[in-house]
Amino acid sequence: MDAITVNHLRRLYKSTDGIIKRTTKEVVAVEDVSFEIRQGELFGLLGPNGAGKTTSVKMLTTLLIPSGGSATILGLDVVKDANKVRPRIGFIFGGERGLYWRLSGLDNLRYFASLYYVDEATSKKRIPELLEIVGLKGREREKVEGYSRGMRQRLHIARALLHDPEVLFLDEPTMGLDPVGARELRTTVKNLQSANKTILLTTHYMFEADALCQRIAVINKGKIVALDTPEKLKENVQDLSVVEVELYGIPQEVIERIKALDFVVEVSIENRDQRQVMQVHTPKGPEAIPVLVEHLNGLRIGRIITREPTLEDAYVRLVGGAEQ
């Protein structure tokens, strides 16, 4: 049985403006999302900011009512059976909110354990185990306000696991973490999957999805634009090479001119401090370099390299090469 099924899920946000003459505006956050996640699978939902990842997760965690479509968790409808779904899922949202900062990590866990009807005896046994798993043992009596961002994120994970849920939703769990903290957290997530939890992970870090997920759905503008294993997604761009050109300022009209070249499939720009790295997806490989340089005439050019495409390139091709 699938742990999660999502059928044509849709969500609109309405906002009103004006005092006397009120106007209502509708924004489509999730247009049409469908997928299934098998029990014990680590599934990635990958997309740029504003693609509809968090909205989708909020509908699945019963915090938002869908405007259309349906979804089930372990066979239970997320709207009609919300009260039955809640004890069986755990979730964390990226960032530092969602904890009581003036209380200790232990107080936070004890409180949330009671909210999930975890009895006192189980709670006393489970909390130290979780503190050990997330690496907060010895720091649990300190106030959360004194924790680092990574420690807070790990406390979130412990909170989500208090009632030993079958399904976990991790919404950008490594957002804002330093590289070491992010790596530790990824190890924790990997271990959770080994414990046969079904996990839906949202991220916009390609390497994270590549390293962790068995299957990935790429979401853009509220729609699933691709759904496959990381390897299969990469195959979509195997016929292409990526030429990376380091630049120190590039006008929009030059980008448009390069996009219009017949051998160019996709162009994306990545800002790195004072520089921009233009990534050109092309089947021509290094042969494209002279033509590209010709079009960049007059601009300050740094390093130029040609490389094999990655999952990130597949993703860029799927969601379009907007500036990252």
CB count, 10 Å around CB of 85? 22
CA 118 to each of CA 124, 131, 137, 257: distance values in angstroms, whole numbers, following the listed order: 10, 16, 20, 61
Q: State yes or no: residue 103 binds another protein (CB under 8 A).
A: yes
Yes or no: say if 117 and 83 are a contact pair by the CB < 8 Å rule: no
Site for another protein in 27-66 (CB under 8 A): 58, 61-65
Q: How many residues bind another protein (CB under 8 A)?
A: 31
Here the tokens at position 25 are 């505006």
**What minimum distance in Å lies between the beta carbon of 257 and another protein?**
42
CB count, 10 Å around CB of 176? 14
Which is nearer to another protein, 65 or 260 (by Cβ)?
65
Which is nearer to another protein, 155 or 240 (by Cβ)?
155
Q: State yes or no: residue 159 binds another protein (CB under 8 A).
A: yes
Those residues whose C-beta lies under 8 Å from the C-beta of residue 141, and which sit 6 or more positions away, are 104, 105, 106
Burial of 33 (0-12, 13-18, 19+ CB in 10 A): buried
Q: State yes or no: residue 112 binds another protein (CB under 8 A).
A: yes
Contact code string over 61-100 relative to another protein, x by CB under 8 A: xxxxx-----------------x--xx---x-x-x-xxxx
Q: Is 79 left (phi over 0), alpha (psi -120 to 50) or beta?
A: alpha
**What minimum distance in Å lies between the beta carbon of 58 and another protein?**
8
**What minimum distance in Å lies between the beta carbon of 48 and another protein?**
20
Query: How long a stretch of residues is the chain?
Result: 324
- Choosing from 53, 110, 126, 284, the residue that interacts with another protein (CB under 8 A) is 110
Residues that bind another protein (CB under 8 A): 13-14, 58, 61-65, 83, 86-87, 91, 93, 95, 97-103, 107, 110-112, 114-117, 143, 159
